[in-house]
Chains A and B, each alone.
Chain A
């Protein structure tokens, strides 16, 4: 991803919108007995689209904003989200994603990893009360919900960041270039000549 200041602004808007949507909409929903969490989804999506650095930095920022708005322990969410953002980015840098189901699957798996890591940190920091086994259900159902939510959300984030995604820019140029044996490799001038030659020879 080519991160210009405009793209940085778009990423910042994505982060703010994601946090507000999570705290004011998704946290109120109960699906399969669990609250959907789009915060890891956004961190992983940004990692998949922008690479390891973008994933890690955006994951950290997302975690910081979430922890601040909830007055929670600063750094816990940041640590987990920067880790999943980085892993997603590293995967993207090392592997060609050709299957459209691969991003939602990765988002689901990394959401489970993020929720499990978050629970582990909470337990390490000390929970004085008994812990219900429902926490395990919560972790896995959140992964499933993240997989389902990623199907519309990942393409949406990709669309917002399209001008910066190298693959999409190259694909866009290819789409605009007509693929014909005579036109290949001759550039714009040669392509203009084709109608003139047709006119001269009387072909339609």
Chain B
């Protein structure tokens, strides 16, 4: 009797492991409209109302816990902020003289939001679910194909670029954030800096790397980085040009490399996303599936 139980238990364990491995392999090999993807969409659709209700109902409790946590962190941040204030004072003096020039550059580069996302229909959405691990930098929004959201639509918030839509159900969509390990954004350093590819550093949502920048280019701390909207006529970036991504934090040059590593701090706080805008029904971009 005991041996029979042990045999049955082992069989179930082996079966579960095999099923898990088959699922991993099948997920990688199937197309975006495959049966497993349909199953995922079904489960996500069932859970969407629960997640939305829970997100709204538990917001006060979340805010309370985060407030307590931030109060603990505030002590350490106090001394850092004093240093920052000194640094920012000198920066402000330089910035004020550059305000006039900056306005002209904005017009020139079409940086203002209305110009950047001209031709798109913005859909405001709320974040209703987040993953529990740093390996997936994604969020689920409460807007889906029923609201006009399509795969590869850019997503922004008040601070700048957030990510792009990676998957859609009728009521929800999954957004791959720019800090996800699968994300890469063609970017340009302002005002007239070079173009590169902004990629995240997996596990750290506060840092991005701008790669493929020639080491002879002079890059300064604080320079703004925006989407380049790169296109060669056949393939192109999913993002339109001019959306703010972040600012340059520092640069490093590795030995025997022709490129320098430019570290960026994203403008959008990926750990504190609540309301975002999905830019839908935009102009067709060559090579970008919808």
* With A78-B23, A79-B24 as contacts: A29 and B209 at CB distance below 8 Å: no
Contact B207 A69 (CB under 8 A): no
Contact A74 B27 (CB under 8 A): yes
Whether A201 is near chain B, meaning CB under 8 Å from some CB there, is no
Q: How far is the CA of A72 from the CA of B137 in the complex (A)?
A: 10
Contact A39 B201 (CB under 8 A): no
Q: How far is the CA of A115 from the CA of B133 in the complex (A)?
A: 8
Whether A154 is near chain B, meaning CB under 8 Å from some CB there, is no
Contact B23 A129 (CB under 8 A): no
Contact B202 A132 (CB under 8 A): yes
Contact A72 B136 (CB under 8 A): yes
Contact A118 B271 (CB under 8 A): no
Q: Which of A120-147 contact B (CB under 8 A)?
A: 122, 125, 127-135, 138
B-side interface mostly: helix
Give chain A nearest CB distance to B274 CB in angstroms.
9
Residues of B within 8 A of A20 (CB): 47, 50-51, 54
Contact A27 B129 (CB under 8 A): yes
Contact indicator per residue, chain A 69-83, by CB within 8 Å of chain B (1) or not (0) = 111111110110010
Whether B114 is near chain A, meaning CB under 8 Å from some CB there, is no
Whether A23 is near chain B, meaning CB under 8 Å from some CB there, is yes
Contact A71 B138 (CB under 8 A): yes
Q: Which of B263-282 contact A (CB under 8 A)?
A: 271
Contact A74 B23 (CB under 8 A): yes
Residues of B within 8 A of A135 (CB): 134, 202-203
Residues of B within 8 A of A57 (CB): 12, 16
Contact B19 A128 (CB under 8 A): no
* With A28-B130, A118-B135, A130-B209 as contacts: A74 and B54 at CB distance below 8 Å: no
Q: Which of B102-135 contact A (CB under 8 A)?
A: 128-135
Whether B199 is near chain A, meaning CB under 8 Å from some CB there, is yes
Taking A71-B138, A129-B200 as given, write out 6 further A-B residue pairs in contact, using a Cβ cutoff of 8 Å, ordered by the A residue number: A24-B50, A29-B62, A52-B9, A57-B16, A127-B181, A134-B203
- Chain A residues at the B interface, C-beta cutoff of 8 Å: 16, 19-31, 35-39, 52-53, 56-57, 60, 63-76, 78-79, 82, 86, 115, 118-119, 122, 125, 127-135, 138
